[in-house]
Structure 1
């Protein structure tokens, strides 16, 4: 049993997410450690997959590096809204094909079996293809409760087939995905694991990415990976990466980091409260009058504490990064203010625009 102070738990979490002073070299290193880089089109500043990489790598990161790693070098692949390292494929692909779906989804797939087969035949003969290249031959439409799909069933069916390991994204044209058969995209990346070994391996990788997580939490999916740990002042049962504990004394120090709201560091909200005493609420879907910090405020991490939120937006017409507010959750001291302002100026430089409104 490891007995950790809160400071130690936070340092383990920060370092596991590559947010300490020791920056990674490239996007592949980022994806290998994090396990997933979230893709999302919301871009008040820049799309999440770009800011997630920039917040780790810093000034030397260029957006084209991610595209190259995915489409040219094939070191990353896209699945379920994330870019992931191909080292996960031997574990993920067998689990995709063995995955069970809800009964309502099974009924939709069964009713549209010919439509599903049409897509496979077309990709076999003509792939890779965009969704717009594939005709909708569905006979049953699914309810679009979330408002993410239109009446065309092709994107929905492709997403389900990707989820089940039948098709895969092989690249993008702009933000439009290009599809092909999964066997063409996924094969050649190592021998597949059996289902039990695959589950164990992925749990280990998830814990490696988090450093420390609540035992058997649905938020983290680490199961019983790693070793047991207690954290000072918490009654949670934790699992911790033993390598992260062993390297606690090898501490490169902290830095300022501006995190996209969809950053993996922020995904496990209960852990943020328990370890960091930080309650993050994304206000994107709140009415404007109810927002406190802004539509898409980016949390600000300094060292191992969340001390503020950045409300900013890229004005593309004026080619300026406009700062609405830098909210101080904890009063900044002079050093913290300078670190935060320097990081915001670096953000503007990375975007290639001047910063307006930073006092």
Structure 2
């Protein structure tokens, strides 16, 4: 596309997932406003704002002021954008799924562009995403693609080539691929039900992963989506040239030391006028997909069982069925006594989970009387 050509409209909506980092969100939104060669209608930009308090545990995971600041940062740049603010904390996996369902079910779009708050875009990011869409749309088995590039390679351009996708950052996803991936993740979402995402049952999720010939070392929604793409033969693609920079120095997975170690502080985007996407063939995409899948296959065959065994040695499965010994142990530890009669054994042994037994005892008046709240924890009048 010539640099002086009329800006083209985006092929799909933009969805931004936000939690409690307004300073990062503001940088992402500002960078979206400076995109070149494309036009972004404000009504096609959606903020999927997560909430502050878990509906499952009641634990507060963010301050209301931070949530409000995120909405304000979005409104500053996109006053005509759409804010979808959750009253509860959904966690990243369910918030992202909410955005995917918005694009592919409610809006019935063929493609969506999805961003978390920790990517700052160069001025040609969305232009390159549209170039990728035009080139990849006719090809089979396309899943994800992105243009954040390879921070280690930092290819200078002008020619842009494709590599296997690493992180799910600033990505595009196609509707048909999402439907297949989401169906594949049904068991994953079942394990997440009724609990905080940060307290998800890793043991059960590794058990799910164990059933496949592909695996990773993580239990995140990104990890399971990568596994699903490998199982389904869907390609995950990124550019070799960087058209954005990762800014998430502070967060769940990064601090200043790890941010520097990965080279993100020196990540620079390319904004030269003559960048262009190299010709893309179905054979090339198939080779890239095979390389990605082979990495997950080798990890499953060579490293997964040892990793899972090490995890099982440290963590227990709270969703396994209760034994008689469990009932006796839980009563002793929580209530300092033995169960009276056989009623609890009959109701729980082989029928209900450790988690259900623990909740049953901890939420009793007897437990509260034996374990009064410290004064500083008590509600203030």
Query: Which structure shows the higher helix fraction?
Result: 2
TM-score by length of 1: 0.26
TM (normalized to structure 2)? 0.25
Task: Write 1 or 2 for the structure with the bigger share of strand.
Answer: 1
- The structure with more radius of gyration: 2
